C-alpha cells in the first residue's frame, strides 16, 4: 500500500495543537475547556478557550493498546465493565498518572476550568465529565439533547438553541470576556469550511480504486475532531485533498488490486486498526466509507445564524437519529460509494453507536440485496474482540461477496 504523504504534516498539525493546549494549561495564557467531541466547540473557541477533547485522548489510549492497563482501575471503583471503555480507560490513565500526551511535552492531561458536554452522543459523556468536575471542583455544564429523532423539527432546534444560549453567561464569567457575535460567526464559518473540506476528502473514496479508506480516515480525521474552528485544520485538509486528487488521477489505490468495496458502520476497534487494515488488504477489499468518519461533517453550520445552526448540526448527526433515518442514510452511502457489503461493528461498551442490535443489518441486506456482517468488538476493550473469529468471519464474508456481486452486476 502506498503511504499517504500528508501523514507527516498531520503529525505536525496535531503536535502543534497539543503543545499549544499544554502551554495554555501550564502558563494560564487561556482558560481550558473540556468539550465532548460533537459539543459546542465553536462557542468555546469564540470566547478564547483552549479546548481539550477527552474522547480523542481515550482513542489514543485505545490505539496504543494501553487501555487494558487502565480500565480495571476504574472498574475497581464501582464503574461497570459494560459502560463506555473510553470513559474507563481515560479516567484509569489519569489515576495511573500516565498519558500519551507526554510525547508532546505535557506532564498530564490539561486541568479543566470548565467541562462542557452535549448528550447527543450518549449519557456517558456527562458522567465522565462529572467525575473530573468532582475531583477538581470545576463547573460542568452542557446540553441535554433529545435522541432517537425522526426528522429534525423546529421545536427540536429551539430546545437546543435555548440551552446553548443559557451556556453563554457561565462561559463568559469563566473566560472573563463577553461573547463577540462577529467572532462567533467567524468561528462557525471556519468550522463549516473544515466540515466541507473533510467531507470532500472522504468523498474521494467514491472513485475506483479508492485513494483513501476507512482506516486512513480514522487517522486523518484528527484535525476535524480537535481543531474544528481553527484555520490550521483547514490548511491541513487543503493539503490532504490535493494529494487525494493526485492519487485518484494516478490510480493510486488505498487497497492495491481493489476487488470489493465495503461500508463500516459503528466505532473503530482502535487497538486493531492496523491488523484489520492489513486483513482487508489481503482480501483486496476496500472499506471505502463509514458512519464514524462522517460524524464530523456539519453541513448545517451557518455563520449567518451561529447558535441555531450549531443546534441543528448537533441534531442532524447520525447517532442522534431514529432507526429509519439511519437506514436511509446507510442506503444512500451504499449507493454513493458503490458498496458491495456492509460491516456493522457491535461495540460492546458503546450501545449508542452500535446499530446491529435491533435488526438493522437484516433490513439493510433485504432492502439493498447486499450481504451484511456483524463483528463483535469494542472501541478500547480488546477482551471483547477475537482476532481469530474476526478473520474467519471476514474471510467468509468476502467469499459471500464473490458469490453475490456477479448477480448484482447482471441485475443492473
> Is the model's pLDDT at 411 over the cut of 70?
no
Q: How does residue 102 score in pLDDT terms, banded at 50, 70 and 90?
A: very high
* Phi-psi category of residue 273: left, alpha or beta, with phi > 0 → left and psi -120 to 50 → alpha: alpha
pLDDT of amino acid 407: 41
SS (H, E, C) 335-362: HHCCCCEEEEEEECCCHHHCCCCCCHHH
- How, if at all, do strands 260-265 and 341-347 pair? parallel
DSSP 8-state symbol, 222: H
> Is the model's pLDDT at 271 over the cut of 50?
yes
> Is the model's pLDDT at 412 over the cut of 90?
no
pLDDT of amino acid 364: 96
Element (H, E) at 387: helix 387-411
| Alpha carbons 383 and 373: distance in angstroms, whole number | 20
Per-residue pLDDT tens digits for 274-289: 999 999 999 999 999 9
Per-residue pLDDT tens digits for 83-99: 999 999 999 999 999 99
> Is the model's pLDDT at 406 over the cut of 60?
no
Average pLDDT over residues 176-184: 98
Sorted by sequence, the CB contacts under 8 Å of residue 262 that are 6+ apart come out as: 280, 285, 286, 287, 288, 339, 340, 341, 342, 343
Q: Which three cell numbers stand for residue 207?
A: 472513485
Report the interhelical angle of 54-63 vs 124-136 (nearest 10°): 100
pLDDT of amino acid 410: 34
Q: How does residue 195 score in pLDDT terms, banded at 50, 70 and 90?
A: very high
Q: Can you say how many angstroms the Cα of residue 276 is from the centroid of all Cα atoms in its chain?
A: 18
Q: How does residue 403 score in pLDDT terms, banded at 50, 70 and 90?
A: confident
Average pLDDT over residues 52-73: 98
Average pLDDT over residues 150-173: 98
Average pLDDT, the chain: 96
| Alpha carbons 186 and 408: distance in angstroms, whole number | 47
| Alpha carbons 330 and 381: distance in angstroms, whole number | 26
Domains defined for the chain, CATH in brackets = 7-180 (3.40.50.11890), 184-411 (3.40.50.11900)
Per-residue pLDDT tens digits for 116-131: 999 999 999 999 999 9
> Is the model's pLDDT at 256 over the cut of 80?
yes
- How, if at all, do strands 260-265 and 140-143 pair? unpaired
Q: How does residue 357 score in pLDDT terms, banded at 50, 70 and 90?
A: very high
Cβ–Cβ < 8 Å for 235, 344: no
Q: Which three cell numbers stand for residue 332?
A: 444512500
Q: How does residue 404 score in pLDDT terms, banded at 50, 70 and 90?
A: confident
> Is the model's pLDDT at 408 over the cut of 80?
no
Per-residue pLDDT tens digits for 211-245: 999 999 999 999 999 999 999 999 999 999 999 99
In 3-state terms the chain splits into helix, strand, coil percentages (rounded to 5) of: 60, 10, 30
Amino acid at each position: 500500500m502506498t503511504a499517504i504523504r500528508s501523514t507527516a504534516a498531520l503529525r505536525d498539525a496535531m503536535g502543534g495543537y497539543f503543545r499549544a493546549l499544554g502551554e495554555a494549561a501550564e502558563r494560564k495564557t487561556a482558560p481550558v475547556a473540556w468539550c465532548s467531541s460533537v459539543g459546542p466547540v465553536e462557542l468555546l473557541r469564540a470566547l478564547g478557550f483552549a479546548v481539550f477533547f477527552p474522547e480523542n485522548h481515550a482513542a489514543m489510549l485505545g490505539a496504543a493498546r494501553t487501555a487494558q492497563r487502565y480500565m480495571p482501575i476504574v472498574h475497581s471503583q464501582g464503574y461497570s465493565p459494560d459502560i463506555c471503555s473510553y470513559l474507563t480507560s481515560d479516567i484509569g490513565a489519569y489515576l495511573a498518572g500516565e498519558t500519551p500526551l507526554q510525547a508532546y511535552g505535557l506532564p498530564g492531561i490539561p486541568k479543566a476550568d470548565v467541562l462542557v458536554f452535549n448528550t447527543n452522543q450518549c449519557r456517558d459523556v456527562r458522567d465522565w465529565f462529572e467525575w473530573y468536575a468532582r475531583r477538581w471542583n470545576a463547573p460542568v455544564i452542557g446540553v441535554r439533547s433529545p435522541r432517537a429523532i425522526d426528522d429534525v423539527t423546529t421545536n427540536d432546534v429551539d430546545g437546543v438553541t435555548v440551552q446553548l444560549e443559557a451556556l453563554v453567561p457561565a462561559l463568559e464569567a469563566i473566560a472573563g470576556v463577553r461573547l463577540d457575535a462577529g467572532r462567533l460567526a467567524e468561528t462557525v464559518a471556519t468550522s463549516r469550511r473544515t466540515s466541507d473540506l473533510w467531507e470532500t476528502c472522504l468523498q474521494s473514496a467514491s472513485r475506483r480504486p479508492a485513494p483513501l479508506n476507512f482506516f486512513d480516515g480514522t487517522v486523518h480525521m484528527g484535525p476535524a475532531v480537535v481543531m474544528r474552528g481553527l484555520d490550521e485544520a483547514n490548511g491541513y485538509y487543503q493539503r490532504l485533498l490535493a494529494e487525494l486528487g493526485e492519487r485518484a488521477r494516478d490510480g493510486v489505490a488505498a487497497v492495491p488490486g481493489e476487488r470489493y468495496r465495503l461500508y463500516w458502520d459503528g466505532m473503530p476497534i482502535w487497538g486493531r486498526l492496523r491488523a484489520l487494515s492489513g486483513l482487508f488488504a489481503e482480501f483486496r477489499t476496500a472499506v471505502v466509507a463509514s458512519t464514524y468518519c462522517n460524524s464530523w461533517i456539519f453541513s448545517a453550520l451557518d455563520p449567518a445564524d451561529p447558535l441555531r445552526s450549531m443546534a441543528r448540526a448537533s441534531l442532524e448527526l447520525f447517532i442522534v437519529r431514529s432507526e429509519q433515518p439511519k437506514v436511509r442514510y446507510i442506503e444512500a452511502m451504499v449507493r454513493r460509494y458503490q458498496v458491495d457489503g456492509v460491516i456493522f461493528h457491535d461495540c460492546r461498551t458503546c450501545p449508542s453507536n452500535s446499530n446491529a442490535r435491533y435488526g438493522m443489518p437484516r433490513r439493510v441486506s433485504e432492502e439493498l440485496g447486499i450481504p451484511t456482517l456483524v463483528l463483535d468488538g469494542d472501541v478500547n476493550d480488546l477482551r471483547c474482540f477475537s482476532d481469530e473469529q474476526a478473520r474467519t468471519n471476514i474471510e467468509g464474508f468476502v467469499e459471500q461477496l464473490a458469490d453475490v456481486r456477479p448477480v448484482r452486476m447482471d441485475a443492473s
